[in-house]
């Protein structure tokens, strides 16, 4: 699972006008038109260091003056020996982002929020967006202006994708129910060679590993979700030959080939080159996402 967890949004939002001399909440200090919560990727932040913008620095730099940005601090780890397993680390990010948005929207009646994340941060941002969009969260969906996900390990083929269409889906499996009411304002970007967000449908070893990572800090309240996700993998496996197919993918020859493929992937740096990855119109993934978030301010 190391290859999944280690290295392993959009209709325009209506802005609330502010009249000169208005006593609305947005007239108070600290109440921006758009509040952007950014979640860095694995190892870009941590409990022992301040939140670093990392890959998202270009997304949050140069936004309009009526925008406020906060970065989430969380474990941002992947392996048990780092102190937090992936599931626990991601849960911290989701909880922290939820808290930031809830507090800001409660204090600022006319402010809307945007979520943006990269890698594990996109995983967390996407989970929170799904929670809000499907009505599970107390945060109203109509207060969320945009969700931007870069290299989302839970990307679904049905998500609205910007740039070249990546094959497969995220290694962690698609979110049951998708983004609900936020589907029209969520955008995802995945480089075609980024295995974290573009795992082949018939790569069952990676898909099972991704499922184990996602459920590594299992919550009994999410048992229904785990059953759906595991069931989808098994359904696809049966459609591709069943257990013999999985056994073939676990053979010594297959493992050796997988190691070579992973080495080639890491050397390509496909997961870390979104600053230069072209998505069309002369824009990179980072500049497109910045401009899109800015358009909602």
CATH number of 2-200+270-294: 3.40.50.1820
CA 223 centroid distance within chain: 21
Tell me what pLDDT residue 264 has.
78
pLDDT tens, 65-75? 999 999 999 98
Give residue for tokens 């929020």.
113
Conformation bin of residue 173: beta by default, left when phi > 0, alpha when psi is -120 to 50: left
Cα distance between residue 241 and residue 215, in whole Å: 26
pLDDT tens, 55-66? 999 999 999 999
On whether the pTM is more than 0.75, the answer is yes
pLDDT tens, 246-288? 788 778 887 788 777 777 776 778 899 999 999 999 999 999 9
pLDDT tens, 6-20? 333 333 332 233 222
Determine contact, residues 113/105, Cβ cutoff 8 Å: yes
Can you tell me whether residue 63 is helix, strand or coil? Answer: coil
């Amino acid at each position: 699972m190391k290859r999944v967890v280690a290295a392993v949004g959009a209709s325009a939002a209506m802005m609330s006008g502010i009249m000169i001399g208005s006593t609305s909440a947005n007239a108070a200090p600290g109440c921006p038109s758009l509040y952007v919560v950014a979640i860095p990727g694995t190892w870009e932040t941590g409990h022992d260091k301040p939140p670093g913008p990392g890959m998202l620095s270009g997304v949050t730099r140069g936004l309009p003056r009526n925008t406020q940005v906060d970065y989430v601090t969380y474990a941002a780890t992947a392996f048990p020996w780092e102190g937090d397993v992936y599931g626990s680390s991601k849960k911290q990010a989701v909880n922290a982002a939820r808290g930031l948005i809830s507090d800001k929207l409660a204090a600022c009646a006319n402010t809307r929020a945007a979520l943006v994340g990269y890698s594990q941060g996109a995983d967390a941002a996407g989970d929170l967006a799904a929670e809000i969009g499907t009505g599970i969260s107390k945060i109203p969906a109509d207060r969320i202006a945009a969700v931007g996900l870069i290299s989302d390990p839970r990307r679904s083929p049905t998500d609205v994708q910007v740039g070249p269409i990546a094959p497969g889906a995220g290694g962690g499996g698609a979110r049951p129910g998708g983004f609900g009411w936020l589907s029209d304002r969520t955008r995802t970007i995945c480089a075609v060679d980024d295995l974290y967000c573009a795992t082949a449908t018939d790569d069952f070893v990676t898909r099972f590993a991704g499922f184990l990572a996602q459920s590594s800090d299992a919550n009994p309240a999410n048992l229904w979700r785990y059953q759906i996700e595991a069931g989808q993998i098994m359904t696809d496996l049966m459609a591709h030959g069943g257990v013999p197919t999985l056994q073939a993918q676990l053979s010594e020859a297959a493992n050796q080939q997988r190691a070579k493929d992973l080495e080639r992937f890491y050397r390509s740096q496909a997961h870390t080159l979104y600053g230069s990855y072209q998505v069309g119109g002369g824009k990179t993934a980072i500049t497109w996402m910045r401009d899109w978030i800015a358009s909602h301010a």
